[in-house]
Amino acid sequence: MPRERSFIMIKPDGVQRGLVGEIIARFEKRGFKLVAMKFVHASKEHLSKHYADLAGRPFFNGLVDYMSSGPVVPMVWEGTDVVNTGRTIIGATNPLQSAPGTIRADYCIQVGRNVIHGSDAVASAEKEINLWFKPEEIADYKSCAESWIYED
């Protein structure tokens, strides 16, 4: 399978609870490559663009308010099937429905404080990456561990 990129963002509750390193470690241990990362306090305007597909939902304003309440850590991860596998690592949107061992099962109880966002498709990942990162902010490099992770 060709390698793809996914957008992963640690939400304000994940940052405040000191879970940034643990979350990064889970993706690294799986074999994915971190190619971009920021630590930012996003504006409501920027977050409204990010969550534009949810604009008609009753929880939209609360979501934007919450996401702008503290710093977030947007990241770009690269690897084979990283979008789908990343969603598996993260767990179900509702933490109480997440499989044991997922980030949300291990660290969350409520949907409104589920510590992490992950792209749900390759197309949405591309859109989210372009919203949060300029092309020059994404590192293009070959990891020295790549031959130990991939057969090709």
Active-site residue list: 117
Residue 93, annotated as binding a ligand:
yes
Is 104 annotated as belonging to a binding site?
Answer: yes
Residue 120 CA to residue 123 CA, distance in Å, equals 8
Q: How many angstroms separate the Cα of 58 from the Cα of each of 12, 50, 63, 113? A: 21, 16, 10, 17
Give the chain's largest Cα–Cα span: 47
Question: Is 87 assigned to a binding site?
Answer: yes
**CA dihedral angle for residue 8, residue 21, residue 15, residue 141, rounded to 10 degrees:** -40
Was 26 annotated as part of a binding site?
A: no
Q: What phi and psi values does residue 105 have, to the nearest 5 degrees?
A: -65, -35
Query: Which tokens sit at 148?
Result: 């130990």
- Check whether 33 is labelled as a binding-site residue: no
**Secondary structure element (H or E) that encloses residue 3, with its range:** strand 3-10
Instruction: Cite the annotated binding site by residue number.
Output: 11, 59, 87, 93, 104, 114
Instruction: Cite the annotated binding site for ATP by residue number.
Output: 11, 59, 87, 93, 104, 114
